[in-house]
Amino acid sequence: MKYALFLGCKIPSRLPAYELSTRAVLLRLGVTLVDLEFNCCGYPARNVSREAFVVAAARNLAIAERAGLDVLTPCTCCFGSLRHAISFLEEDPELRSRVSQALAVEGIAWSGKTEVEHLLPVLARTIGVDALGAAVRAPRAGLRVAAQYGCHALRPSNVARFDNPLAPTTFETLIRLTGATPVDWPRQLDCCGDPLHESNAPLSEHIARAKIADAKASGAEAMCTACPHCHLRFDSAQAGSPKPSIRSLLYTQLLGLAMGLDEKSLGLECPESPIRGR
């Protein structure tokens, strides 16, 4: 199994642990990751120019296409952007031709051959629950976590093609494989508040806190995340809050631990975290 790894902008600069743990886990699972010189997924440009957004996204797809690889991204936001770009390109022939011209300058082209996959479905479906189950050596029994899918993994469902957006099960299944228990929490499918942070910080904080409180009240010991934006938002929303916070834990770290990988290779520095399970 071989993918072009699309880390996006956030992970390398703000959440290297996600890159570490993703690489470590996939290496153990026999997945080859290729690094290509990608650029921004285009998301920030959506508020400036739809076309610029699509061009940026399509450039990445074209680069992967040139390398004959499908794209795997651990970032839910990038996943959404790239998938959206594809749907825009497919629904709007005019846009497609303008984008092709823009790409032609660099001698690359988008033809739609490249699939864009999010890490979770790749784990759950392509690698498969059986393979994962077999790889788990040290189940994190008793650990209760709140699964945070991230909006752009689920919605709009026709673009994401990820899971049932109103009653998703992928993440829960993956969590159970590690021996941990996914809690049922009402605000699970709500936004984490991150996209609002620049425009309306208080509202963004409010949304994030509401989710965290909800997860906590539902008995979660950790937020299990699969998106750097959600992950960092939860952390920063809890930074300096008086209430005892629950930490956010990357799924790749949880899985890595369950697979018996050492904490260092997963970017887990604080050993007293609740993620060790009982």
Site for another protein in 259-278 (CB under 8 A): none
Q: Is 193 in the site for another protein (CB under 8 A)?
A: yes
Residue closer to another protein (CB basis): 131 or 203: 203
Site for another protein in 97-116 (CB under 8 A): 102, 105-106, 112
Residue 132's nearest CA partner among 174, 172, 163 is 174
Q: Does 96 bind another protein (CB under 8 A)?
A: no
Q: CA-CA distance, 78 to 74, in Å (whole number)?
A: 8
DSSP 138-191: S--TT-EEEEE--HHHHSSHHHH-SS-SSS--HHHHHHHHTT-EEPP-GGGGS-
Query: Could you count the other beta carbons within 10 Å of the beta carbon of residue 136?
Result: 16
In what side-by-side order are the strands of the sheet with 222-225?
181-182, 144-148, 222-225, 247-250
- The single residue among 23, 59, 140, 231 that binds another protein, judged by CB under 8 A, is 59
| CB-based contact 143:278 (threshold 8 Å) | yes
> Binding another protein by CB under 8 A: which of 100, 138, 156, 236?
156
Task: Tell whether residue 74 is a contact of another protein (CB under 8 A).
Answer: no
Interface with another protein (CB under 8 A), residue from 4, 17, 65, 83: 83
Residue closer to another protein by CB (options 142, 186) is 186
Smaller CB separation from another protein, 45 or 250: 45
Q: With respect to another protein, which residue has the nearer C-beta, 32 or 47?
A: 47
Q: Which stretch binds another protein (CB under 8 A): 180-188, 230-238, 240-248, 253-261?
A: 180-188
Binding marks (x or -) toward another protein, 199..238, rule CB under 8 A?
A: xx-xx--xx--x--xx--x---------------------
Residue type for position 57: A
The distance of closest approach from Cβ of residue 270 to another protein in the complex, given in angstroms and rounded to an integer, is: 19
Residues 13-52 that bind another protein (CB under 8 A): 13-14, 37, 39-40, 42, 44-52
Round the CA-based radius of gyration of the chain to a whole number and report it.
19
Residue 170 in the binding site for another protein (CB under 8 A): yes
| Residue 143: Cβ-neighbour burial (10 angstroms; 0-12, 13-18, 19+) | buried
Task: Give the three-state DSSP class for 32.
Answer: strand
Q: By CB under 8 A, how many residues form the interface with another protein?
A: 76
